[in-house]
């Protein structure tokens, strides 16, 4: 099977990829940094020292988990997304990819601001559909190639 894709057809997938990286770098890393500096100030006010990497502060753990979880999901998402866009449909990939990015943007809110208050059912509201999107794109790509 020969696969040729017009570069104009990839505008949607490129936009989704850029949105994903803006989400990850700007929003999630921003949240992580803001949380760190907020806690440094809070601990200083209380006469304590904040140990960024040795702390078990539930607020810092939640920010770190939001970044880490999104990073863990990055490779499977981008691999399935781009394979699907090139092999199956760039339009469908754009729709599925945009849905995935919106769900990932909701993840920190579902996780909560303190890790100790996390509710697995709320987190599954995001992670479940994200897994379905990834496995669907991989499955449809494999089906198309076979």
Is 99 a member of any domain?
Answer: yes
- What is the domain range of residue 69? 10-145
Is 4 a member of any domain?
Answer: no
Q: CB of 112 within 8 A of CB of 54?
A: no
> Does residue 66 sit in helix, strand or coil?
helix
Domains in the chain: how many in total? 1
* 14 to 25, 59, 84, 90, 138: CA distances (angstroms): 16, 33, 13, 10, 18
Is 27 a member of any domain?
Answer: yes
Angle at 6 between CA 101 and CA 25, to 5 degrees: 25
Tens of each residue's pLDDT in the chain, 146 residues: 666 667 788 999 999 999 998 887 788 888 899 999 999 999 999 999 898 888 888 888 888 888 888 889 999 999 999 999 999 999 999 999 999 999 998 888 888 777 765 567 788 888 999 999 999 999 999 999 99
What CATH number has the domain bearing residue 125?
A: 1.20.120.550
Is 48 a member of any domain?
Answer: yes
Question: What pTM does this model have?
Answer: 0.84
- What does the alpha-carbon distance between residue 72 and residue 55 come to, in Å, rounded to a whole number? 22
In sequence order, what are the residues at sequence separation of 6 or more whose Cβ sits closer than 8 angstroms to the Cβ of residue 99?
129, 133
């Amino acid at each position: 099977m020969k696969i040729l894709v017009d570069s104009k057809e990839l505008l949607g997938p490129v936009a989704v990829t850029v949105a994903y990286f803006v989400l990850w770098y700007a929003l999630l890393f921003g949240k992580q940094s803001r949380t760190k500096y907020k806690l440094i100030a809070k601990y200083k006010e209380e006469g304590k020292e904040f140990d960024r990497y040795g702390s078990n502060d539930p607020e810092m753990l939640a920010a770190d988990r939001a970044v880490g979880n999104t990073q863990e999901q990055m490779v499977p998402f981008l691999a399935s997304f781009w394979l699907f866009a090139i092999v199956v449909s760039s339009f469908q990939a754009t729709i599925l990819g945009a849905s995935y990015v919106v769900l990932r943007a909701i993840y920190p809110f579902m996780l909560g601001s303190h890790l100790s208050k996390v509710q697995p059912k709320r987190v599954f509201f995001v992670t479940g559909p994200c897994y379905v999107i990834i496995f669907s794109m991989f499955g449809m790509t494999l089906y198309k190639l076979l």
